[in-house]
A and B are shown apart, each in its own frame.
Chain A
Amino acid sequence: MTVTDWITTPVNWVFAIVALAVLASAFRVVTAKNVVHAALFLVATLAGSAGLFLILSAEFVAWVLVLVYIGAVIVLFLFGIMITRAPTGYDESLDGDRKIWPAILSVTTFALMTWASLEAFGTRAVSNPGEGTDTEVIGIALMGRFVVPFEVVSFVLLAALIGGITIARRDLTPAEEEERTLV
């Protein structure tokens, strides 16, 4: 596949626009000086990723991402930010002082991973783009071949739920405890 082929395929323009939006908002997630802004930029990043999943014809996973991440996880993050009464305005102390080594490390990681995937896959194309995935197939896989991991994951969720409540609950002082037993 030559560069001209790549540019003349309309789906690649969609990809380029979505990818730029994802990268820009992901950059703002790690650089924003406001906690709430960082969380909201993560919404943009995740919405862009859902768009990429739609391009890759993984519709079910795309909507699961929208429901679980944008609908639940981000709301949880915002609740966490508000409940802790953390400073929500502009805040200089969100970042550490030394940024050069983390930057070098992340650029090196990016270069290494890019080199590895270019070596391994070269110009390999995505097969049958635009052909949707049957959600039935995913359901049958989840309830058949992957039923044990599925149950384990649901147990993990339950344990995380109970653990989260236990950790975040405020312990009563002895006086309050006594008051409660009297009532």
Chain B
Amino acid sequence: MLLNQFLILAAALFALGIYGLLVRRNLVLILLSVELMLNAVNINLIAFESVFRSELAVGQVFAIFVITVAAAEVGIGLAIVIMIFRNRRSANVDDLSLLRW
């Protein structure tokens, strides 16, 4: 197994996440695209760990941290989406132009 096959797969996932982030207009779907990008980072961390094999399994420990922070991010993000939906009856980012200059 080559290291690059994992890195290129992660790059493809990250690029798909960027595409979704920019194209999607629904807040929940934007959060889903962010999850894709975070997952690409995790694949990279695990792949590097299995190449460099540190004594403390640093790559895997950091992947666990990334997963934890992603869970916190989803919790807060969905709370904000629910709040916005309750106030404006819409989860579409084009309708949220209140702060736009």
Residues of B within 8 A of A (CB-CB), count = 70
Q: Decide if B56 is an interface residue (CB 8 Å cutoff).
A: yes
Interface centre among A83, A109, A126, A140 (most CB of B within 10 A): A126
Q: List 10 A-B contacts (CB under 8 A).
A: A26-B16, A27-B16, A30-B16, A45-B36, A110-B15, A117-B8, A123-B4, A138-B64, A168-B82, A170-B86
Taking a contact as CB atoms under 8 Å apart, the answer to whether A58 and B63 are in contact is yes
Which chain A residues (101-130) contact chain B, with CB distance < 8 Å? 101-103, 105-107, 109-110, 113-114, 117-118, 121-129
- Interface size on A, as a range, is 35 or more
What DSSP secondary structure best describes chain A's contact surface? helix
A127, B51: Cβ atoms closer than 8 Å: yes
Judging by beta carbons under 8 Å apart, are A105 and B22 in contact?
A: yes
Q: Do B53 and A76 touch (CB < 8 A)?
A: no
Question: In whole angstroms, how far apart are the Cα atoms of A130 and B55 in the complex?
Answer: 17
Chain B residues whose CB sits within 8 angstroms of the CB of A30 once the complex forms: 16-17, 19-20, 23-24, 29, 33, 36
Q: In whole Å, how far is A107's beta carbon from the nearest beta carbon of chain B?
A: 7
